[in-house]
Amino acid sequence: MINVYLLIFKRFIFLVLLQGLIFNNFNFFDTYDPYVCLVFIITFPVKVEKITFMIISFAFGFALDLYSNSLGINTAACLSIAFLRSYILNFVFGSFYDPHGIKLIKNYVSESTFSQKLLYISSIILIHHLVLFSLETFSFEFISLIMFKTLITSLISLIFCSTFIYIMIENEK
């Protein structure tokens, strides 16, 4: 179990620094930043208790807020997807989902279909971005802008996150 927490700590530091120093400065079309930091929550070990996962996700979102000076919206978005992740896993993987956490996330990736992988990653990213941009705008007046920015940024983040997850899974084998 110590190895699991060491892996979590290394990913935490690496992905916060990667997002804060590199990906927050990408600015595709002067507006859209890929959120590679979501790889941390997507690949978080299932066997860790949910309350521990929520606390670590809070700290992760808070660290992202410190880098991006975003006043807590990253924390709220990370907590939202941390809370919903078990429900998303159960919805996407169905009876294959292991709520007790015996299976590792690489087992989900290697033993599932392409559509399950795509649905899991894209739903996490979409929910995160929808919460993030809704809190950023905080007005229903700009709902079309929120939806457009959510979709474009989600597509960019999906490409980057899928690439990072594939690299991580290949390195763990």
- What residues have CB less than 8 Å from 153, skipping those under 6 apart? 32, 33, 34, 35, 129, 133
pLDDT at position 74, please? Answer: 94
pLDDT at position 108, please? Answer: 61
Runs of H (alpha helix) within 69-113: 73-93, 105-110
50-89 residue pLDDT tens: 999 999 999 999 999 998 888 899 999 999 999 999 899 8
Contact indicator for 13, 60 with CB cutoff of 8 Å: no
Q: Find the range with the poorest average confidence among 7-16, 102-111, 113-122, 144-153.
A: 102-111
Instruction: Considering only the C-alpha atoms of the chain, give the largest distance between any 2 of them, rounded to a whole number of Å.
Output: 48
Tell how far CA 43 is from the center of its chain: 8
131-140 residue pLDDT tens: 999 999 888 8
| Type of residue found at 88 | I
